[in-house]
Structure 1
Amino acid sequence: MKQKLQITALFVFCLAGYNPAKADRSLSDTLEIEQVVVTANKTLVNKNNIPLSVSVITREEIDKSSESALLPVLSQRVPGLFVTQKGITGFGVSNGGAGAVNIRGVGAGNKVLMLFDGQPQWAGVFGHSLPDTYVASDVDRVEVIRGPGSLLYGSNAMGGVVNIITRSQHEEGVTTHARIMYGSYNTQKYMVNNGVKLGKFNSFFSINHDRTDGHRPNSQFNITNGFGKLGYNINNHFSVMGDVSLAYYDTHNPGTIDEPMYHNWMKIWRGTASASLSNKFDKHNGAIQLFYNWGNHKIDDGQNTDIPSTYYFRSTDFNYGVLAYESFFLFPGNQFTLGVDYKNWGGHAWNDNFDGTEKLIIDKSVHELAGYIVMQQELWSILNLNAGVRYEHNTTFGNEWVPQAGLTINPFHGNTIKASFSKGFRSPNIRELYMYAPANPDLKPESMLNYEISVGQQFLNGKLHAEITAFYIDGKNTIVATPVNGKMKNINTGKFYNKGVEFDLSYHFLKNWNFGTNYSYLHMNKPLVGAPEHKLFGEIDYTPGKWSFTLNTQSIFNLYVTTKPVDKENYTLLNARIAYRFGNDKRNITLFVKGENLTNTSYTINEGFPMPGIIAMGGIDVRF
């Protein structure tokens, strides 16, 4: 709490030092500084004109991390967002899996929706996200809605939305980027990508391979990811785009320290493909998107003794659909969006016994059909009103209404005040509905109401930006396995409320110096595993000429590792990166070294899975 008060005081002090009499009240000036986002309205819109809290992680921030996985970058740089981890690289699935994304203490059970270019990404049978398929090199930027996004995106966007916007070649010509890294625990990372733009045609292809022996016995991890994207501008009004992403990973789970696992491994294929047709006119624009996700899992659940299993768990799953929307600009300052979504998700799971027989577990699918409408209106160049509603029909639980409303005020240059109310929900997944003993086909969606207000201010011609947000969440119908007539059963029984404060600041204070920090305070009446009470991150960059120096630190306080019994973790990590570049901005070779957890802090995020100590990595980047 002391940290929260100190940061709030800093923000108020900055506001007090600002002289609005010298400011130009023109909104157009603010537009030149502020980022433009697509996730909150489906079309390009100034971030200051939408009432939701949206964080944007740029390509530059992703590059300077030298990370191959995307989620650790988000866990540092997005206030209120935390990602569970268990080792040096790789997240895995099933027993011992990590990579759960929580926003504002909401996330367990896939309550944060992961998107590729606005299309949902999650496994059709178990309903979980796929953290090892989110590859940093394939990302142009990431837009994170901190709070419900169910108005536009439906189920699983209950706690928030992470929209991974994939890369395209924007500059005319051909560019190629390759990187090799090697470091602790025989960790190796290889990456190469290529972008082409020739007139109306553009393409981007990449391949990544990561492997590690792991910092514990029997914790090795291997993954190969491939991505390809093609685009063509038919004319000034229409363009088409298509992409394919594939991943194969082989991972082992050593079990917890107290209960080691033997023979627990996973061999997994994941893939996604999409195609879109976009239109852009003076008075309207929109798109129709088709997507298809699939998976093939082969898992040995292992044993607590060194005795081989008698079967493999097998599953194939799918998640496909059609998304269509059109935005209309009826008169000055007005934007009116209509959208329709159709989704079908499910799959087939069985035990493949070594005696040649099979035991069916589930073969099921669920259909969803939804329509939504969103209106935004600008008034007097300082006020924006935003409201919308979604109606969704699900073949399992029936119907769900999703309202949302908010406003933004720009009273003077560089200042933005936002207030919003939004509803989020999550459909029960197939495991909760139909699989294993607690299954209950009569489950209803989990839901929550989110109330928030924020104040943002820019200073020094945009060199300094600060924003503070306060929120309150009221959740109900949480799905909990509860004893009923002597047997465990999934029922909608849980209620919860969360409240907190988020703060974000960036400062480009000298030509070659940049500083950024964010802080989150979270209070939960019902603790959630993987959700810290306090989360603080700070980073400073210094780029004198061809050298680059980065130093950052992250402090986590009162992170719930378990809730029964309660076990909390506190830790602070110190990380650094040094790089030197040969060549110019477009054609160069960069040598770099980086260290993580330089103070050798002992800590745990996933129960029973201690994180590694000091990690050292070195590598070479080539661009031409």
Structure 2
Amino acid sequence: MRVAMKTFLIHLGITTSLGTGLSPALAQNAEPVLLDQIVITAGRTPLEAAKNGRATSVITREELEARNIVNVTDALRQLPGISISAGAGPTQLRMRGGEANHVLVLIDGIEASEAATGEFDFSGLQASDIERIEVLRGPQSAFWGSNALAGVINIITVGGERNASRWGWETMVGTRSTARGLLSWRGGAETIDGAVSTSLFRTDGHNMSREGDENDGSRSGTFSARFNADIAPNTTLDGTLRYARLLGETDAEDYATALPADSDDASRRISLLGSIGLTSKTPDDALTQRLRFSFGDTERRNYRDGTLLSGNKGRRVSGLYQLSYAFETPALADARHTLTAGYEWERESYNMLDAPGIAPDQLNERSRSLHGFVGEYRTELFDRIYLGTALRHDINDAFKNATTYSLSAAWQTFDGGPRLHASIGTGVTNPTFDEQFGYYPGVYLGNPNLKPEESRGWDVGIEQGFFHDRVIVDVTWFNMVLNDEIVYSPTFDSAMNLDGRSRRQGLEIAATAEILDGLTTRANYTYTDATDPDGVTEIRRPRHSASLNVTYTFFENRATVFGEMDYNGTTRDTYFGPPSYSTPVNLRARTLVNFGGSYQFSENLKGYLRIENLLDKEHEEVLGYRGSGRTALIGLKGSF
């Protein structure tokens, strides 16, 4: 593995905002790396990647299209610090050894996780309408509050285009009766722009259980819309709306074997997200005010043989006011400063749906709210040193109040020299509604006495470019301590806080290389050591993981071929069968290979091919639930 660590070449997020998405045109440029790409999630106001002291990665639309990405998880697997578990029910994403509800997921700035679980279900999330994905690793609650304990993922959809009008379409078919269709429009006039997109996806899937022959498919549909309008000089009104439906089939656990077996189980999820915002700036852009209201509504229903087993509905409403002031002090270290202060209000509500075994009092709506006050200060000194700090105080009506902080620094030592970066911060995650009140009688009971989870983490790294920045390598060491970790207790069929400290530490190596014009290589390696207070390795977090992506663009940038490798080392899981009903087991290491390409037939027509799991390797990311075998996808996309 030490050899692999030395040979993998990738782009690490902090200045890698560009490395994750080199366009064909850029691939022909003698200076392939752009260090001034904006990373929105790196603070309360936009920040250039090279000035960011936190560990950040960006996936651009060019990257998604060059690799013909269908599911967003296939792109996220290629980033350092991330592990994904696809199996029964929701597809979970973990970051730096944290849990799935320790990662805050935003879509166009709206919190998208389900109120019931605090997690975002990545199954069914297609890449067709996504402009870019920003990933921020490490505790970030000082900026974003609860659930940003281990990191933040901000998904930004395609926006409008001024003084233009363009329609787009896509059709795709594949093995396992897979098909996708997309229709979109983006355009605008001189003072307004917008974008609308709708897509449908279906597949017969594969048999998830180890035995039997029943395939478990899925059906999904998404509608999204965005607009921006200049309603006055230096004042902009914007809004977004997103509606998504998913029906996913799965196999339930056989209580005789404690492993999944063929069954007619399914889960239906319906979500609606929206926001409306107002941004006003002074003519010199020194003072910026933002006002935003957002909402999210998610309903989940679980069925067996067509009968409702359980279900819940969660809602989230929030408001934000933020004021930022930028100024310079040329006589003092040639410094530039940005001060930001903000207030956030959020209300979450939740109720179970009427199903067999649900008591009448469990149908009552439960709610909680918080008031958050946040401040941030950033400064740039001598055009080489970049410092940032943030402090947040949350007032909760259901839990104790929380104060979190963040400090970061980046130093460009000299022209062409290494860039040093470091950050330290704290995070908090409140108990979920499921953990507090349960979700299925007799199977999972609630614990209203749970305490919020709290973390403190730091990272330090060095980034260096070689051969005129045609190769960029970044090495980052991270460490985090988690207090009051919430876990499932099979003894009590409920959740509980662990005594003591859970520890996460590891190494992220990332690089990008473009030694030859048109040939781009990206890779990463992550070592993660995540243990509970007893020193036991946490489940579904591989100790070693790595990825490699090679993309070649040729024939006057009209043709592209790519290959991907995704490696997960041995991973621990839990077997809930006899004799102890909580037995640790190991899932064997696996390496998956994807391959594909595309050809631009004309300015408005492109064909593409993607083959996933090319070597048809058997694998499991959740005990007993098989991953998909070889799948071939072919499609056409065009515009007019």
TM-score with structure 2 length normalisation?
0.86
Letter aligned with residue 106 of structure 1 = G
Question: For residues 457-490 of structure 1, what are the alpha-carbon distances to aligned partners after superposition, in whole Å with 9 as ceiling and x for unaligned?
Answer: 2334443222111111111110134489x78552
1:581 aligns with 2:581: no
Q: SS state of the match for residue 6, structure 1?
A: helix
Measured in 2, the distance between the counterparts of 1:441 and 1:256 equals 27
Moved more, 279-288 or 384-393: 279-288
1:316-327 to 2 correspondences below 5 Å: 316-327=313-324
Which whole-Å CA distance do the structure 2 matches of 1:68 and 1:102 have between them? Answer: 20
What is the DSSP-based 3-state SS (H/G/I as helix, E as strand, rest coil) of the residue aligned with 1:565?
strand
Deviation at 1:315, TM superposition (A): 2.3
Q: Deviations over 1:359-394 (max 9, x none)?
A: 735520110111011111122222122112110111
Does the 8 Å CA contact 2:162/2:192 hold for their aligned counterparts?
no
Q: Which moved more, 1:149-158 or 1:376-385?
A: 376-385
Structure-2 residue corresponding to 1:500: 506
1-structure distance, mates of 2:359, 2:372? 41
In structure 1, what is the Cα distance between the partners aligned to 2:32 and 2:446?
A: 52
User: Could you tell me how far apart the structure 1 residues matched to 2:466 and 2:495 are?
Assistant: 55
- Letter of the aligned partner of 2:99 in structure 1? G
Tell me which residue corresponds to 2:17: none
Which of the numbers 37, 54, 57 marks the counterpart of 1:55?
A: 57
Deviation by residue 1:173-213 (Cα, 9 ceiling, x = unmatched)? 11222111111111111112111121111111111111111
Corresponding residue to 1:343 among 343, 346, 371: 346
The correspondence of residues 453-468 of structure 1 with structure 2, limited to 5 A, is 453-468=460-475
Matched, 1:203 2:197: no
CA–CA distance in structure 1, aligned partners of residues 328 and 221 of structure 2: 49
Question: Partners of 1:296 and 1:32 in 2: how far apart?
Answer: 42
Which residue type is aligned with residue 623 of structure 2?
E
Q: Which residue of 2 aligns with 1:18?
A: none
- Tell me the equivalent position of 1:266: 267
Residue 237 of structure 1 is matched in structure 2 by 234
Tell me what 1:84 maps to: 85
- 8 A Cα contact 1:189 1:211, kept in partner: yes
Matching residue's letter, 1:107: E
What residue number does 1:377 align with?
379
- The separation in 2 between residues aligned to 1:286 and 1:131, in whole angstroms, is 33
**Letter paired with 1:413:** D
1:99 matched to 2:91? The reply is yes
Q: Match for 1:550: what amino acid?
A: F
Equivalents in 1 of 2:499, 2:321: separation in Å? 35
Query: What does the per-residue CA deviation read over 1:437-471, in whole Å, with 9 as the maximum and x for residues that have no partner?
Result: 64222222101111110111233444322211111
Aligned to 2:27: none
Distance, in Å, in 1 between the alignment partners of 2:161 and 2:517 is: 27
Structure 1 position 569, deviation (Å): 2.3
Shift of 1:342: 0.8
1:554–1:574: 8 Å Cα contact kept in structure 2? yes
Indicate the SS of the match to 1:605. strand
Contact (CA 8 Å) 1:133, 1:225: kept in 2 or not?
no
Residue pair 2:480, 2:504 contacting (<8 A) in 1 also = yes
Q: Partner of 2:206: helix, strand, or coil?
A: coil
Cα distance in 2 for residues equivalent to 1:615 and 1:9:
27
**Take 2:130 and 2:518, find their aligned partners in 1: how far apart are those partners?**
25
Cα shift at 1:106: 0.7
Distance 1:236 1:30 in 2: 37
Partner of 2:45: 43
Q: Which amino acid aligns with 1:402?
A: T
Q: Deviations over 1:120-162 (max 9, x none)?
A: 1111233221324643122211111111111111000001000
| SS of equivalent residue, structure 2 residue 99 | coil
Does residue 1:120 correspond to 2:111, yes or no?
A: yes
CA distance in 1, matches of 2:495, 2:511: 46
Correspondent of 2:560 among 548, 568, 577: 548
Give the secondary-structure state (helix, strand or coil) at the position aligned to 2:63.
helix
TM-score by length of 1: 0.88
Structure 1 match to 2:591:
572
Conserved 8 A contact 1:387-1:405: yes
Residues 138-157 of structure 1: pairs in structure 2 closer than 5 A = 138-157=129-148
Distance 1:506 1:311, change over 3 A: closer
1:260 counterpart letter in structure 2:
A
Distance 1:373 1:598, change over 3 A: same
Equivalent residue in structure 2 for 1:516, among 497, 522, 530:
522
Pair 508,538 (structure 1): closer, same or farther in 2 beyond 3 Å: same
Distance across 2 between alignment mates of 1:319 and 1:283: 33
Distance of 1:566 and 1:310 partners within structure 2: 33
Aligned in 2, Cα 1:329/1:357: closer, same or farther, shift over 3 Å?
closer
Change (3 A) 1:147 1:128: same
Q: Secondary structure at the match of 1:62?
A: helix
* Matched-pair contact (CA < 8 Å) for 1:251–1:266: yes
Q: Cα distance 1:169–1:266, how it changes in 2: closer, same or farther (>3 A)? A: same
- Give the distance between the partners of 2:281 and 2:138, measured in 1 at CA: 29
Instruction: Give % identity.
Output: 22
Whether the aligned pair in 2 keeps the contact of 1:581 and 1:590 (CA below 8 Å) is: yes
Q: What code does the residue aligned with 2:589 have?
A: N
C-alpha separation in 2, matches of 1:536 and 1:10:
10
Q: 2:427 aligns to what?
A: 424
Of 185, 200, 217, 1:220 maps to 217
Distance 1:606 1:261 in 2: 16
Separation in structure 1 between the aligned mates of residue 528 and residue 561 of structure 2, nearest angstrom: 32
* 251-260 or 330-339, larger mean C-alpha shift: 251-260
Deviation at 1:236, TM superposition (A): 4.2
Match of 1:289 in 2: 292
Aligned match for 1:599, one of 615, 626, 630: 615
User: Secondary structure of the equivalent of 1:554?
Assistant: strand
Aligned pairs for 1:328-407 within 5 A: 328-332=325-329, 333-353=336-356, 360-407=362-409
Count of residues paired in the alignment: 585
Gap change, CA 1:448 and 1:7, over 3 Å in 2: farther
How far apart are the structure 2 equivalents of 1:449 and 1:34?
29
- 1-side partners of 2:531 and 2:432: how far apart? 25
Q: Supply the AA of the counterpart residue of 2:548.
A: G
Aligned equivalent of 2:167, options 176, 179, 182: 176
- 2: CA distance, partners of 1:507 / 1:446: 39
Equivalent residue for 1:530, pick from 521, 536, 540:
540
Matched position secondary structure for 2:77 = helix
Q: Indicate conservation of the 8 Å contact 1:154/1:392, yes or no.
A: yes
Q: Return the structure number with greater relative CO, CA threshold 8 A, min gap 6.
A: 2
Counterpart of 1:14 in structure 2 is none
Q: 1:422 to 1:7 in 2, by over 3 A?
A: farther
Cα offset, 1:412, TM superposition: 1.1
* Partner of residue 2, structure 2: 2
Change (3 A) 1:494 1:192: farther
The CA deviation at 1:249 is: 1.9
Q: Taking structure 1 as reference, are residues 183 and 10 closer, same or farther at Cα in structure 2, changes over 3 Å only?
A: closer
SS in 2 for 1:193: strand
Structure 2 counterpart of 1:551, which letter? G
Quickly say closer, same or farther: Cα 1:51–1:293, change in 2 above 3 A. same
In structure 2, do the counterparts of structure 1 residues 44 and 309 end up closer, same or farther at CA, with 3 Å as the change threshold? closer
Q: CA deviation at 1:559?
A: 2.5
8 Å contact 2:8–2:548 — kept in the other structure?
A: no
One-letter amino acid of the counterpart of residue 491, structure 1: N
Unaligned 5+ segments in structure 2 are 12-30, 208-213, 330-335, 576-582
Out of 478, 482, 490, the position equivalent to 2:485 is: 478
SS at match of 1:425: strand
